[in-house]
Amino acid sequence: MGKGIIVAAKDYIYNLFKNNSDGHDANHSIRVYQNAYRIAEGYPDINLTVVSLASLLHDVDDHKLFHTENNENARTFMKSHQVESDTIEFVCEVINGVSFSKNKSNPPKSVEGKIVQDADRLDAIGAIGIARAFAFGGKNGRSLEDSLQHFDDKLLLLKDEMNTEEARIIAEIRHDYMMGFLDEIHKEMDS
């Protein structure tokens, strides 16, 4: 499987998410793909096709965005590009292991799954994570205070949930940035 399917996957997500402005857009999936690629450099024996497709397609069936079952959008895309059935199953297994709300502290079984889960979680923290939290909150009618609660409920927990060493290093930096932001916003809200 060559670069053609990666280009097609990028085109697919840009089209699918073209009207999305809540932080689960095509640019999010591209950043997850880039994060995954960076982490994957430390694992030369992994299935890079699975990591690439899973990172790009991880939100195409997200329950917050779509009413699909059994990874219908991801499967349809891969079948239309003649991806082998065992690869489709592996990609879907990885995608199903990404979600924080569905998996909490249960790490994926495969290294590929751990990489994609870490890549997605890295995009939920740091400066990008802050922006995404408020974009999602605003689109879904959350108050400023409710969006800030999301940091305690999820975002501040992610640093300690990373599976790979590279992700842990990046997460530490992004976590510290969020802590500085939260200190400042709480000071401003209390003044």
Give 172's pLDDT tier (boundaries 50, 70, 90). very high
**Rounded Cα gap, residues 179 and 54, in angstroms:** 30
Residue 191 confidence (pLDDT): 77
Strands (E), the chain: none
Mean pLDDT of 20-27: 87
**Rounded Cα gap, residues 151 and 134, in angstroms:** 11
Give the model confidence (pLDDT) of 67-122 as tens digits.
999 999 999 999 999 999 999 999 999 999 997 777 767 889 999 999 999 999 99
- Among 23, 24, 11, 43, smallest CA distance to 113 is for 43
Angle at 149 between CA 144 and CA 153, to 5 degrees: 150
The mean of the pLDDT values for the chain is 94
In the chain, what are the domains?
3-190 (1.10.3210.50)
Q: pTM for this one? A: 0.94
Residue 20 confidence (pLDDT): 84
Give the model confidence (pLDDT) of 10-23 as tens digits.
999 999 999 888 88
Give 1's pLDDT tier (boundaries 50, 70, 90). low
Contacts of 31 (CB under 8 A, 6+ apart): 123, 128
